[in-house]
Structure 1
């Protein structure tokens, strides 16, 4: 049971290291992509919705996000209120971290839109992505949490908080890793708290491979 509890709150490899007696778990990852997502319209919704209905809604949405994180091989870090944080490239470094998390972000966006339409709820999701290095580790002795630290985390949070409801905003660092495979709109320079003016981009969709489209068009069904 204690093993299952550890696996519920920590990534598998990290739980294993704790079980083998490693006391201090701190790792540096040079290239990861961090996501912050926030339910836009949640504060207004909470003023006219029962607490039970709010918790039910968040549980459904966050469960969907957890499923998407697993599908794309990402690590959910935590939820705070109506905010959701995840990372690609931790605890296992991967080359396509930006691509994986971009796919998840677009699917989260579509999922929230479908939920809002199905339930008649006025809400959308605002997502921010940034790529860089982080320090990851476990803190706590009774209640463990696995968390990330560093400027990359702060920047990803800023990408979300300065973003657009219903859109996925990415930093220039993330843009350069996505531009070959995804369509993005330049948002131009926006003033980021503590950073000054920075160029950001809005993720639109995955690029369609014209060769695959032409093959599909001539293949008899």
Structure 2
């Protein structure tokens, strides 16, 4: 059984490979590097339909000619000759609008020519069903307004055919030929429609998933879902959350001695490293501002351990930076953390960004800017939430712009035998 089955598997594999190569070729014909994903999909669909149906149109032309219907054979022959030329022109000129119009026009008109030459619906085996592919393809590759025009054209051809039916002379075709061509016409069109829709839906799902992934890289999942149904400002108050700021020490003079591309590459490497750690602890990266990196815990998903999770992140960030170089540079960071009530949300109409507001955010930024190289500086509100699990050293009070003197601590590391976590929501 295996010896007999192997050739079938190989033939199936060869057929699938050929189909994949045809799709890849269709994707390259007339490709424009600036076109969007939807535009590329539309072009690929029409090229696939136009080129993919050539074997059938050649077969139809040869068959009609063989049974003594040369006029009927000429219509698919015209399609078989014009389509390759038109496709080559598309690849050369990238004029998809002209290609689309001429191909749809041939798909609409040529089956009607066959119907007229064979003497009506019955003797032509309802070949005009092929013309239905015109408005269908238009629906996939054009705007709805243009599709309506093709639908009207298809309906008018049906009406004209019905009116002229009584004046046409039926071609002398064998009864069996008429029956089997009816099966072939109907079956082929249904198969093509299914294949087009299957490919179109699959590709649209692919592009949609890619867009969803891109959106989730910009906004939290909860916020992106909310924006799909409500485009107004989204804001929520969180009674207890934690905010972290991390900043490269001495970045400005270091960047002055580097090329712009080197600076961007260095920051990209650093932030990639931090992004992995943020994902590890299921936290929310808010944004980067130059060399400053901002993270929050407890928004938009409330969690009682928000301060603990953020300090865990800060320690991992410090260890990662200390253990490696970025762009041949040894970096040091100041990290500041504060906990308290915040407002989080999305405002504006374009270029959405999820952001935080409130005094707690400002104090977290001050903890970073007033910190020392390689340290993690926290406020009293954060210290009270994490002191049972981390070793901390009091730094006394510091003068903070816009606030009174504040007590601060440096996080030294994790305790060997941490006590019970403090419930930040209590």
Assess same fold via TM > 0.5: yes
Radius of gyration: which is bigger? 2
Match of 1:83 in 2: 292
Structure number with higher strand proportion: 1
Match of 1:205 in 2: 413
Return the structure number with greater relative CO, CA threshold 8 A, min gap 6. 1
Measure the CA separation in 1 of the matches of 2:259 and 2:240: 42
Match of 2:196 in 1: none
Match of 1:170 in 2: 378
Q: Relative to structure 2, which stretch is displaced further, 43-52 or 131-140?
A: 43-52
Give aligned pairs, total.
210
Mapping 1:67-146, distance limit 5 Å: 67-116=276-325, 120-146=328-354
Task: Report if the CA contact (8 A) 1:181-1:206 is conserved.
Answer: yes
Deviations 1:50-86 (A, max 9, x none): 2111111100110111111111111000000000001
Structure number with higher helix proportion: 2
Measure the CA separation in 2 of the matches of 1:100 and 1:71: 10
Measure the CA separation in 2 of the matches of 1:6 and 1:52: 26
Deviation at residue 119 of structure 1 after TM alignment: 5.8
Measure the CA separation in 2 of the matches of 1:69 and 1:166: 19
Match of 1:185 in 2: 393
Matched, 1:196 2:404: yes
Measure the CA separation in 2 of the matches of 1:11 and 1:39: 26
Matched, 1:48 2:257: yes
Residue 9 of structure 1 aligns to a residue whose secondary structure is coil
Match of 2:212 in 1: 3
Deviation at residue 121 of structure 1 after TM alignment: 2.1
Measure the CA separation in 2 of the matches of 1:20 and 1:70: 27
Unaligned runs of 5+ in 2: 1-207, 419-426
| TM-score normalized by the length of structure 1 | 0.90
Change (3 A) 1:52 1:133: same
Measure the CA separation in 2 of the matches of 1:32 and 1:21: 25
Match of 1:16 in 2: 225
Match of 1:213 in 2: none
Deviation at residue 34 of structure 1 after TM alignment: 0.3
Deviation at residue 192 of structure 1 after TM alignment: 0.9
Deviation at residue 205 of structure 1 after TM alignment: 0.4
Q: What is the CA RMSD across the aligned residues, in angstroms?
A: 1.7
Residue 111 of structure 1 aligns to a residue whose secondary structure is helix
Unaligned runs of 5+ in 1: 211-221
Measure the CA separation in 1 of the matches of 2:328 and 2:253: 15
| TM-score normalized by the length of structure 2 | 0.48
Match of 2:239 in 1: 30
Residue 56 of structure 1 aligns to a residue whose secondary structure is helix
Measure the CA separation in 2 of the matches of 1:4 and 1:99: 28
Deviations 1:8-28 (A, max 9, x none): 210011101111235231100
Task: Report if the CA contact (8 A) 1:41-1:122 is conserved.
Answer: no
